[in-house]
Chains A and B, each alone.
Chain A
Amino acid sequence: QVQLVESGGGVVQPGGSLRLSCAASEFTFTNYGMHWVRQAPGKGLDWVAFIRNDGSNKYYADSVKGRFTISRDKSKNTLYLQMNSLRAEDTAVYYCAKDLLITMILRGAFDIWGQGTMVTVSS
């Protein structure tokens, strides 16, 4: 079935780096925009980044701009999030999510979510 599977989470020291991956299956990956959304323990949802279906446009939350980079590899049907200069406040479960519609607009309608991968930033 349509599925997203994240990997790459773990424990990292402040200032460190981590790369998250999100493997997509059973849908045409190149048709849909993809997002990263995070959720700190016991807190609400926090949108992180978006990449258009063809990779031509990328948008970021102000809190991660300049530190995080979203990318995608159509040959591997995989979405990535490169996270640098990590801070304690980046500690969260990171979800990748698929746009419901084939759209060029940040509609915020995500129909498929991964199971999430935990990132802990701590010394």
Chain B
Amino acid sequence: QSALTQPASVSGSPGQSITISCTGTSSDVGGYNYVSWYQQHPGKAPKLIIYDVSNRPSGVSNRFSGSKSANTASLTISGLQAEDEADYYCSSYTISNTLLFGGGTKLTVL
């Protein structure tokens, strides 16, 4: 199975909002509300920031939000901060009882 499609890079200035998309098919993103988002800083393990499309785990800033429309999920980061600069990955449950990750998006805070 091919990875979910994410833009390779996005950028924004401090205080701005950015959105990262994650496109799949009706057999994964579009078929289930089991999309998660992870933040990964260089050399570190990923950190869960959104699960089940739009839920935030305890302790995650409310500047992070998730949504989904048809086969595309989105992560929005508002009030961009320098520490948000990282790689972001989406994941989705699939019809084959597997999990699929996106290719990752590098966020640059200008």
- Distance in angstroms between the alpha carbons of A109 and B50 in the assembled complex: 8
Number of A-B contacts (CB under 8 A): 73
- Report if A45 contacts B (CB, 8 A): yes
Query: Does A46 contact B101, Cβ atoms closer than 8 Å?
Result: yes
Number of interface residues of B (CB under 8 A): 27
- Report if B21 contacts A (CB, 8 A): no
Contacts of B47 in A (CB 8 A): 113
Interface residues on A, range: 20 to 34
- Report if B69 contacts A (CB, 8 A): no
Interface centre among B47, B51, B87, B92 (most CB of A within 10 A): B51
Say which one of A7-15, A18-26, A100-108 lies at the interface with B.
A100-108
- Report if B89 contacts A (CB, 8 A): yes
Query: Does A109 contact B52, Cβ atoms closer than 8 Å?
Result: yes
